[in-house]
Structures are given as C-alpha cells and as structure tokens.
C-alpha cells in the first residue's frame, strides 16, 4: 500500500510503499478516509518531541484520523504503530474508536480531534474553567487557539475572553465567535494590554499555545509590583511552543503573583480524564462541528503531496487534510 513512510527521524516522510497491516491482538485493518497534518506529527517525526525516541522505525506517519470499518461505519481512531493514519489502510483498536455523527464529513472530522481536545482539555481539565471565568487565549489565531476561544465562550460560558494572535483578519473573525477583546501580537504592546485587562479584573485562566517571547510578555503583565496587592489565582496552562521552546522567567514573577503554571500533554492528563476523551469530549466536539457551532477551515490534498506539505506553512487557522487517492 502507499503511505507517508518514515525511515529515519528528522526528514519529512516520503510517499512510498509500505507493508500492509494485518489484524493482530484485537486490532483490525481499516480503510483510511482522511488524516490531518498536525504539529504533533511534525514534532514526532522530527525527533524533537519528548516521546520521539520510542517510535518504531520504519513507520507510517499520522497519529490519528478517520477510517471506514469493514461494516461501513466511519470512525475516528488513533493509529496502532507502526501503521500510522497517513496511508491507504491503518491498524486500529475497534474498542477505542468514536463513531462519527450521521452525514458528518470525514475531512472535517479528521480536522477536529487534535485542536479540539487540546482546547477542550486545557480549559476544562487543566484550566478548571467555570461559568463567568475570565480567559486569555495566547495564540488564538491558530486552529486550536480559535477552538479555545469558541469553546470558552459558547460552551463553558466564560465571562470575558481575550484573544491574542498575529493574524489581523483572524482576530476580527474571532470577535464574531466569542472574543470580547483582541490583542495583535507584533503590533500592540502585549505587556501593557494584558496588564490593563488583568488590573481591571484579573484573569482566571491563560491558555498558551505559543511560549517564547509572547509568554514572557504575558507573565510580566501578570506580576505584581505592589507588595500589598491582593491574591488572585491565575492558572497558566502551557499547551504549545510555536513561538519558541524556552522562556526567560524571573523568579520574582512567580513570587509576586498567584500564577499556577501547568501544562497539557498526554502524560499530564490523569487516566480517568484520558478515558473521557473518547466517551465524552470527542462526541461533543463532533456534534458541535457537525451542526456548525465549531467551524474549522480545511485544505484537502492527496497523500502523495505529503513530503512537500510537511514543511510548508499553511494559512493561519487552517488545517491541512491528507486523503488517499
């Protein structure tokens, strides 16, 4: 079969032949309909991800996607290594799939889980969002960031949502789907704008998809110079690092304010919460996307284009979807 084959970590996968998957240990072979090209896929294959060293080589790229079972059902599933979802066929665990809503487009369905779960769990499981919470989304013009804005406002009932990002057009659009205020990175004084918002009424949650310099600016804004300032807990949830893998964090910043710094990743979610991904979170996200409450832009390409697309930069807020020919 044809697949996006990874022979060594570092280079982009190549479109080539790969051995056919065979049923084993309860896993079944399914025909792949669509797979999203995501930052996690790129990070794993590059060797930069903290779990890259555990990958079996050679392998097929693509941690998840939408596939059709032998009985005709369309399902979302995680791939069983080394048979990733960027292929004509994949190996999946039929007991850990999520059936798609009737008539739901498999391309859109493939685009939803990664950013949707990232946004949903950063807000609920790590951010502990409540109705009325004040939320800052850092990196809001990306796919996951945009979903976080929409979910915070329309699903969780946040009291105020501030969206920070670089794409002016996307920021304007976010005002129509949940953002009460926007901050344009690279144009606005981020520290000044965030500090003004925080002083007016403190943020309860910051969801950070960027890290790097923007995070340094936001953390500086959350710090208190007034030793008599009243305590307010702000949960700072670190999710992505598209602006850089490290930051300079003065010790005084952490001592001067009620900042609780935590992260979202596979190893930072308790087992009971992970179990709810397929039983609760994904069905809700699929239902919202299917009826238009969670719009997501997609660009569809043939799987054969994987090598050139791997290093290309897609438009902000857009998810690239690969489909077998």
pLDDT value, residue 140: 97
Same domain for 101 and 141, yes or no, is no
What pTM was estimated for this model as a whole? 0.90
Instruction: With residue 198 as reference, give the H or E element that holds it.
Output: helix 190-200
Structural domain contains residue 275: no
Structural domain contains residue 311: yes
Judge contact between 93 and 68, C-beta under 8 A: no
Same domain for 187 and 79, yes or no, is no
pLDDT value, residue 99: 94
Same domain for 224 and 143, yes or no, is yes
Structural domain contains residue 209: yes
Structural domain contains residue 55: yes
Neighbouring-strand partners of residue 15: 4
Same domain for 190 and 95, yes or no, is no
Same domain for 92 and 168, yes or no, is no
Same domain for 104 and 154, yes or no, is no
In this structure, what CATH number is given to the domain that contains residue 315?
A: 3.90.180.10
Residue 264 has, within 13 A of its CA and on its CB side, a CA count of 31
Same domain for 24 and 109, yes or no, is yes
Length of the chain: 325
The DSSP output letter for 4 is E
Same domain for 100 and 141, yes or no, is no
Structural domain contains residue 318: yes
Number of domains forming the structure of the chain: 2
Structural domain contains residue 79: yes
pLDDT value, residue 159: 97
Q: Which domain holds residue 29?
A: 2-113+296-323
Instruction: With residue 5 as reference, give the H or E element that holds it.
Output: strand 2-6
Instruction: With residue 134 as reference, give the H or E element that holds it.
Output: strand 134-138
For residues 98 and 115, give the distance between their C-alpha atoms in angstroms, rounded to a whole number: 16
Same domain for 243 and 132, yes or no, is yes
Same domain for 247 and 151, yes or no, is yes
Same domain for 84 and 150, yes or no, is no
Alpha helices by DSSP H, 68-142: 106-111, 113-121
- What does pLDDT average to in each consecutive run of 10 residues of the chain (325 residues)? 96 97 94 95 90 90 96 94 96 93 94 95 95 98 96 97 96 97 96 95 97 96 79 95 93 92 84 81 93 94 97 88 93
Same domain for 210 and 238, yes or no, is yes
pLDDT value, residue 49: 84
For residues 323 and 306, give the distance between their C-alpha atoms in angstroms, rounded to a whole number: 10
pLDDT value, residue 130: 97
pLDDT value, residue 315: 83
Structural domain contains residue 269: no
**DSSP letter string over 12-72?**
PPEEEE-PPP--BTTBEEEEEEEEEE-HHHHHHHHT-STTGGG--SSEE--SEEEEE-TTS
Structural domain contains residue 279: no
């Amino acid at each position: 079969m044809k697949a996006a084959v990874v022979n060594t970590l570092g280079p982009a996968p190549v479109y080539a032949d790969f051995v056919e998957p065979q049923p084993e240990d309860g896993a079944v072979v399914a025909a792949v309909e669509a797979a999203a090209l995501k930052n996690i896929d790129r990070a794993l294959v590059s060797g930069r991800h903290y779990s890259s060293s555990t990958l079996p080589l050679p392998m097929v790229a693509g941690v998840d996607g939408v596939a059709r079972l032998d009985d005709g059902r369309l399902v979302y599933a995680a791939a069983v290594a080394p048979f990733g979802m960027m292929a004509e066929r994949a190996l999946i665990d039929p007991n850990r799939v999520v059936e798609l809503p009737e008539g739901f487009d498999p391309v859109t369905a493939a685009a939803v889980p990664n950013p949707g779960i990232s946004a949903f769990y950063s807000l609920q499981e790590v951010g502990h969002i409540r109705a009325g919470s004040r939320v800052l989304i850092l990196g809001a013009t990306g796919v996951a960031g945009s979903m976080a804005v929409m979910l915070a406002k329309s699903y969780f009932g946040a009291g105020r949502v501030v969206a920070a990002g670089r794409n002016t057009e996307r920021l304007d659009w976010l005002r129509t789907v949940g953002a009460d205020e926007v901050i344009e990175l690279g144009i606005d004084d981020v520290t000044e704008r965030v500090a003004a918002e925080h002083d007016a009424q403190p943020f309860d949650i910051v969801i950070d998809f960027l890290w790097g310099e923007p995070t340094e600016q936001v953390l500086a804004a959350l710090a208190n110079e007034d030793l008599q300032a009243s305590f307010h807990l702000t949960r700072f949830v670190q999710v992505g690092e598209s602006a850089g893998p490290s930051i300079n964090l003065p010790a005084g910043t952490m001592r001067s304010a009620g900042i609780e710094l935590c992260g979202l990743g596979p190893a930072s979610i308790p087992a009971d919460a992970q179990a709810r991904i397929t039983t609760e979170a994904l069905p809700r996200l699929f239902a919202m996307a299917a009826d238009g409450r969670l719009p997501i832009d997609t660009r569809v390409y043939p799987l054969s284009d994987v090598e050139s697309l791997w290093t290309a930069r897609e438009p902000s807020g857009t998810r690239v979807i690969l489909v077998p020919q």
